[in-house]
Structure 1
Amino acid sequence: MNVFEFQISQTAILKILLFGAALYFVLRVVQKAIHLPRVKKLLGFPLYRVFPFIEMAIWGFFLLWAAQQFFQHRPFYTAVWMGALALLLIWASWFAIRDVIAGIILKAEDAYEINQRIKLPSVEGKIRRLGHRSLEIETAEGQIVKIPYGRIAGEERILSDPRETGRSYAFQVSAPASMAPEQAAERLRRAALNSPWSSVTKEPRVRFLGEQEGRYRFEVVAYPLGEAYSRKVEEYVKKRMLSGKSD
């Protein structure tokens, strides 16, 4: 006797398909509804953040119910199906909650603050929001990038020190005379401001000194996070000007 032989009634298949379609429709309506401002205010808490976990659990129960419809008189098949489903749910849940766990660990290790500057190998900018699963970073171009905590945990990161000294650091830098002095000064200002080692609360100043040997000379006054970072800011600005970038 073939242990994998079983019969499935057409009624059971039709029932499962209809119920599955109805469940999908209801969940999509609920997903859209919980994002409405009026519903958010009525609930008093952001249900949409935990809705994916609720939906996963609902579909898990649906699959268990579908298995019972398929294998009503064959408990062995039901046990095998439930075991496979449990492993699948554990695997899927890990991908769903690993960023949450990584976020808890990272927040315990590092002091993340809003408007704090952060530099990662893939992106750099200012922290705009500390989410449950991801960090929202605003780049110099104004783009908002969401980086999962699980990804941040495996990367080298540089955070600005909240205890900024406020001391200025002046240095001179040259720029090609092929562009207008105002344009070169703005590039220098943005480069100094967007340096990972510069203060996020004080604007750098740029002063045009004149032209020498076909190149413009500027004085840049930046505000490093500390004296130890002064040279890093200067090197960063000069490197950006050589590459033609200002972030």
Structure 2
Amino acid sequence: MENINFNISYTSVIWFIALGVGIFLLFRFLKRLVYYWIPKRQNRQLKFERLLPVIEGIVWFTWVIWGIQGVFNNKLLYTLIILLIILIIIVALSRFAIRDFIAGVVLKLEGAFNIGERIKVRDVEGRVKELGYFGIKLENFQGEIITMPYSSVSGVKRVLSKSSDKIKNHTFTLQLPKKHSVTDTIEQAKSTILNTPWASITQKPHIKLVNENSDVYTFEVIVYSLHQRYFQKLQTHLQNWGQKL
């Protein structure tokens, strides 16, 4: 087989390039296919938008390793190139991880975020659920968990969205089985309300007993939210919770 400098094979180079083009076209086709099959972005994000890039990255990495092994007949040179690629990947990943970690430390020291408060960062609004090592987790009004790297929120405008003058209230009655005392049942119901993404965290729900018989309690429940459209979701969620007791 005819070779050029460093024992590089012409045939292997051609196969290497052809396979790379094939991989590129394959994943572009798969992405279009996913968008056609699953038009709703929420479902795509949960099922494919996170998984497909990972699979593509693994395939591309395998392609590079195979290509180097096939193109370079010099085993020592092949080994050195593989080690160099691995080193570059480690350094690149470490750089992003270190950047997010340092940004997180700075933001935590500043007290920029508190668990439970509602904030808006760029176009993302939700309740702070968790302050991780490398990113912040927000729960939006649809109950979706959104993870944002600290580096993406550092230095940008953050708006607290918990003004009490915007809070609305909704009153309804709720029947719950008499499996626990009145006090315990009320506390469980309050906890269930506050753990939803729709309830206000600055205005606590009010629950009082209005009637009871041998089987059930009847409560009057007042819930608070920033948007009236979430009242029905809160009521339905609490009723479904009560049916499971």
Superposition TM-score, scaled by structure 1 size: 0.45
Richer in strand (by share): 2
Bigger proportion of residues as helix: 2
